[in-house]
Amino acid sequence: MRDLAIALPGQRRAPGNMTISEPPLASGGLDPAADTEPSGALAGARLVVKDNIDVAGYITTYGSRAYDPAPAPTSASVVTALVAAGARVVGKANLDEFAWGVTGENTHWGRIANPAHPGLTTGGSSGGTAAMIAAGLADIGLGTDTAGSIRIPAACCGVVGLRPRTGTVARDGVHPLAPSFDVVGPLACDTRLLRLAWEAMSGTSGGDRLDAPRVAAMHLPRWSPPATPAHWGPVAEIEIDRVALDAFWTVMHAESYRTHRVRYEAGAEGYGPAIRAKLATAAASVGDTAVARARLAEHRDVFARTLDAYDAVLAPALGRSIPAAGVDEASIRAELGWPSALFSALDAAVACVGGLQIVARDEATALECASQFEAALTRGAHSHAASPQADRSGS
């Protein structure tokens, strides 16, 4: 297996192991607009791409050493769309191996440093993307989200992110984990750029202005929603059953094992210990996926009726405080990630701002509410109907 430095001479990594590689200048670069004045809605925006997404000319490592590295011949459609809108690729972001993890710990490429909260985890698995934006080294980024992998690092690193619904954007050139739940979404330094990135990659234009969104918050014993924009009015409190997670994990683990089964059962050379342990657990716990899928469909129908009554539902992105860097992932994985995984199970559109999930029936509504929430944070124009609580854990 060739070393990356040999495969593409001159590769460098950003400080703190945030990226696996920067642009392959030795091959003449790969941004089609590099030698021209950028134009488009994202003109000049610096784009970092999670390294399970192909960018022409870059090696795609998937955060692993399980594959012989070679530059991708073509870019994923989502990358092409962002570059066409004027974005400039600045690197491939580090990640939990094969996008399966919540801490940004990578056996092969190093622990990702959190610029916003030194000494704490970046979250994962899109931790490198979030960290690059938090460090001011990129303006926008691409991540993937199967069970919270955009929202967890966005919350840990203090940036914004969007988990779109499954099937809303193409996934060609994106390495799968659990295809029924895998999505590609943007991260950014603010909601304006987040919206522009989403519109470019999805080919959509903005939704309607919501003058007075109907908003509810998930009832949790030790969590209160943060103060909300004054014009939202009182925030209702609703119950959302977590039982959908049981069916979700059954299907997610079965699909993840199926993705890796051939290579794993052949010895999985190049796999790190964390991914090996997860695959071993998944192999030993395969349940009845047909029954689980049917139950998931029922839970989604119930939640869809909730979104008939409200434009947005608020929930924490994290189930506990941000863990320390180097924490044993197995000891905190379920507690940290369940709030994000729940809305993957329910397949909602979710914008993450300030550690808050803003859950909606479509991406335009989630982004509109996120923009209003961010603007109110900036102005300090909050409703007195909800107040911050010191303990933000969602347990």
Amino acid identity at 106: N
Active-site option among 50, 92, 256, 340: 50
List the domain boundaries for the chain.
4-238+296-379
Round to whole Å and give the CA distance between 329 and 1: 28
> Could you read off the pLDDT of 188-221 as tens digits, one per residue?
999 999 999 999 999 998 777 899 999 999 999 9
> Could you read off the pLDDT of 308-319 as tens digits, one per residue?
999 999 999 999
Per-residue pLDDT of the chain (395 residues; tens, 9 = 90+): 334 433 443 345 788 999 987 666 444 344 444 456 778 999 999 999 999 999 998 999 999 999 887 889 999 999 999 999 999 999 999 999 999 999 999 999 999 999 999 999 999 999 999 999 999 999 999 999 999 999 999 999 999 999 999 999 999 999 999 999 999 999 999 999 999 999 999 999 877 789 999 999 999 999 999 999 999 999 999 999 999 999 999 999 999 999 999 998 888 889 999 999 999 999 988 779 999 999 999 999 999 999 999 999 999 999 999 999 999 999 999 999 999 999 999 999 999 999 999 999 999 999 999 999 999 988 875 554 443 333 344 44
Q: Give the pTM.
A: 0.92
Active-site option among 75, 125, 224, 371: 125
Residue 125 annotated among the catalytic residues of the structure: yes
Q: What are phi and psi of 112, to 5 degrees?
A: -80, 125
Residue 50 annotated among the catalytic residues of the structure: yes
Whether the Cβ atoms of residue 111 and residue 96 lie closer than 8 Å to each other:
no
> DSSP secondary structure string, 220-262?
BTTB-PPP-BGGG-SPEEE---TTHHHHHHHHHHHHHHHHHHH
Round to whole Å and give the CA distance between 321 and 317: 10
> DSSP secondary structure string, 182-225?
-EEEEEESSHHHHHHHHHHHHT-------SS--EEEE-BTTB-P
Active-site option among 21, 75, 149, 202: 149
Region 4-238+296-379: CATH code: 3.90.1300.10
∠16-22-25 over CA atoms, to 5°? 150
Residue 202 annotated among the catalytic residues of the structure: no
| DSSP code, position 336 | H
Whether the Cβ atoms of residue 214 and residue 238 lie closer than 8 Å to each other:
no
Whether the Cβ atoms of residue 89 and residue 23 lie closer than 8 Å to each other:
yes
Sheet holding 356-360, edge to edge: 19-21, 88-93, 46-50, 140-145, 183-188, 160-163, 349-353, 356-360, 312-316, 215-218, 236-238
Amino acid identity at 179: P
Question: Which residues share a beta bridge with 229?
Answer: 382
